[in-house]
Amino acid sequence: MKLIADLVVGRPRAVVLSLGLLTALALLGAGQLAIDDVPRSFFRSEDQDFERLEQVFRDFGSDDNECLVLLEAADVFSPGPVASIAALDLALRSVAGVRDVLSLDDVLVFDGGLIPRPLLPAPDASPDAFERARATARAHPLVEDQILSTDHRATLLVVELDAELQAISAIHPVVEGIQAQLAQHRESGIRLGLTGIPPIRVVIFEAIAREQALFSIIGAALGFLIGWFVFRRLGPILITSCASIVAGTWALGCFHLAGQSINILNSALPLLIMVIALTDAAHLMIDILRSRHAGMSVREAAHAALRHLGVPCALTSLTTAIGFGSLALSRVDVIKNFGILFAMAVGLSFLVVLTSIPSLSILFLRAGPKTGFDSTPGRLGQRAETLIRASVRHARAISIVGAVVTFVLLGVALRLTPDNRLTEATPRNAESVRVLRACERAFGGVLTTSVLCEWPQGQPPDERTFTAIGAVQEVLDEHPFFHGSLSVLDLMTLLPKALRGDATDGQEEGSVATDSLTLLPQDLVRRTWRPDLQRALVSARAPDCPSREARKAYAQLELALDELRQRYPDMELHVTGTDTIARRNVNVMISDFTLGLGMAALIIFGVLSLAFRSLRLGLISVLPNVFPLVVAASILAVSGLELQMTSVIAFTVCLGLAVDDTIHLVARFQRGLEHYGDPSEAAVQATIHVGRALMVTSAILLGGFGALGFSQIPTTQLFALVCCIGLLAALVGDLLFLPALLTVFTPKRASRDSRRDTR
């Protein structure tokens, strides 16, 4: 490390110029980055379930490209609502990007002949006509409980978007166009609202982009104010902030080097890197200022800081990079790529901090004797030292309490299970969520769950085929979680009785019935029936609910389908659909992230044992680093919350910060042990020396993360909550438990002075 210190301190201008050129290249690469705003790619995986889902989309059409317009009135079957439905249906078809619209105005009815008639009467029709339409709707399989509520006070207009519109940037203008049409067609006595997967995704991406920009500014401002309170000089604040910003910029450059796009998950990576860089930068800056206050020149102070803290900073970067690089073993591409990018960015962050802080300090810190930083304890420092010495005197009791509390909280934390839902990241006051809940009350849900039915290639559908499809639909109808099932059997009931046949009477009549489906709109038929591919799809709606409820329902569905698989061994039955596969894959991502977090912890502690050349120190470091994780996780469990992707990322932040603080404190403890020989005194001095940097970085980060608590996005609030709890718990672990553990489990040795005397 002395060689690096000589190089950096000896040529600060060359170092700063090199950093500037590399940062310019990183900015150039960042400017060329593409944004992956295709939501489907977030839960993409290489497993068979996702491949089957994409094949279902190709064969039957997508189930995540439908906007739902909810029309509510005192009675849908009255002149005003009927006129509004017709006008709105026509207006929505004119919106660019809309492929088709299905509403009550589009429903046709066969009255025994071959020529159908509209379901809805004209707005000026007689009351008897409206009553006849009401009675017909109740018996129509595409109307009652499909696009019309059972109380006839709500109806849906299903707006299908063009299939190629998958990116949020492409969907956004279409959603705006639909909203504009709704604004023009609002009438008294009729309520209109827009929901569905595309509008909710647009709201989520808009809110995240808006709040990321806003709270980044607020967090930076709070961090600056706290930094000013600590350093009392502009120079140290700007230097540490510059190192953090440059590290985040280089992280964006990693995206370009790795050929990755920015997505909803890795967009948080530059912020995480800035946080990690800020902690090491603060440690280096405080060490430089402390040496300056002791009388060293700026150059001497920078050189000493690199000699003292270069190895601990290298260790924090190495352990973090190796630990979270283990995410590359994940089963999901987005997690795998995140782990690789994280490891690359952490390594570059170390390079930035180690070179920028000393060189910028030499060039821009004031050379006079006044540093604006007082290293004397002061009244607050004296009280802190008194508390630290008291805790070290009771080290054994504190160690036992820490171990017991950590073990108990671990048991509580293990109750957490993965959870995700469509609306988890939507602002609490979002109109699309309010309409979604209204749709769930009226129709049971808007998310699609499907069962793919396949029969052997080359075999035409026969009696058993239709019987099996009917049995699958019956399973969905009988389960309270699913609503409004639809299959080819429902379409066949729409046909005139003379052409309908009975699919259960034999293969020939079933064949006649399905051939007659050509009389119906083929887009509608294609949604459920592909005899050319030996496939049929039975669909139902499901609510947007916590994963534990959905898991239970899907498990029961699979059990029921297992019985059908035994009864119909020639039929293959697979549960699919965007909601089903997205829930499953995101839960896998959360599990992989959690597993990766555990692997990272094990790797980190192993690396620490090797780095400090002491298995004892590696084991000692386990408790203070696990403690903040189990505290935050147990609070989530007690609060009734589940394990979301956001909270797992927050755990990653907490572990990284806790490990960083632990390494600096243990490194200082080892130096103190060489000097004092007494582990209790070495622990006290290490805690006093490093504790200020820990408090400074924690205060700045608490200010930044605390600002996120004012977000309207629930997942952002959750991230802020977990980070703040974890930071506070990490302080307790590193400033209370770690010194006690070091005191209890480190044997005394001869001090440096006593060794000199013996010589």
SS3 710: coil
Residue 216 confidence (pLDDT) = 64
Is 379-416+601-759 assigned to CATH 1.20.1640.10?
yes
Determine the longest span between alpha carbons in the chain, in angstroms: 115
Q: For residue 123, which of 91, 93, 156, 85 has the smallest C-alpha distance? A: 85
Residue 565 confidence (pLDDT) = 94
CA distance 459 to 503: 16
Tokens of 532: 């050319």
State percent of the chain over pLDDT 70: 89
Residue 504 confidence (pLDDT) = 41
CA distance 215 to 63: 34
* Cβ-based neighbours of 180, under 8 Å, separated by 6 or more: none
Residue with tokens 């609510």: 543
Q: Is pLDDT larger for residue 179 or for residue 375?
A: 179
Tokens of 181: 């049409």
Give the count of beta carbons closer than 10 Å to the beta carbon of residue 110.
18
Average pLDDT over residues 136-148: 89
pLDDT at 680 over 80: yes
CA distance 326 to 322: 7
Average pLDDT over residues 619-627: 87
- Our CA dihedral for 416, 422, 427, 430, rounded to 10 degrees, sits at -140
Domains 6-35+234-367 and 379-416+601-759 share a fold: yes
Residue 105 confidence (pLDDT) = 92
Residue 113 confidence (pLDDT) = 62
| Model confidence pLDDT, tens digit, residues 508-523 | 444 445 666 777 777 7
Q: Is pLDDT larger for residue 710 or for residue 557?
A: 557
| Distances in whole angstroms, Cα of residue 424 to Cα of each of 118, 203, 299, 402, 420 | 40, 12, 51, 34, 7
| Model confidence pLDDT, tens digit, residues 287-334 | 888 888 888 888 888 888 888 888 888 887 887 777 677 677 766 677
Confidence band of 220 (pLDDT split at 50, 70, 90): low
| Model confidence pLDDT, tens digit, residues 328-341 | 776 667 777 888 88
Task: Supply the DSSP symbol for 371.
Answer: -
Render 501-536 in DSSP notation, one character per residue: --TTS-HHHHHHHHHGGGGS-HHHHHTTEEGGGTEE
Q: Is pLDDT larger for residue 758 or for residue 77?
A: 77
Entry field: residues in the chain: 759
Residue 180, Cα to own-chain centre: how many angstroms? 31
SS3 71: strand
Q: Are the CB atoms for 145 and 541 separated by under 8 Å?
A: no
Confidence band of 223 (pLDDT split at 50, 70, 90): low
Task: Supply the DSSP symbol for 117.
Answer: E
* Domain layout of the chain by residue ranges: 6-35+234-367, 63-202, 379-416+601-759, 439-561+572-578
Task: Supply the DSSP symbol for 45.
Answer: B
pLDDT at 560 over 50: yes
CA distance 357 to 239: 6
Tokens of 668: 């200082």
Residue 507 confidence (pLDDT) = 39
Protein fold of 63-202: Alpha-Beta Plaits (3.30.70)
Confidence band of 80 (pLDDT split at 50, 70, 90): very high
Is 6-35+234-367 assigned to CATH 3.40.920.10?
no
CA distance 403 to 410: 10
Residue with tokens 């935050």: 632
pTM over 0.85: no
Average pLDDT over residues 253-263: 82
Q: Which residues pair with 98 in a beta bridge?
A: 161
**Residue 75 identity (one-letter amino acid):** D
> What DSSP element (H or E) covers 573?
strand 572-576
Beta strands 66-73 and 447-454: pairing type? unpaired
pLDDT at 658 over 80: yes
Residue with tokens 């190192």: 243
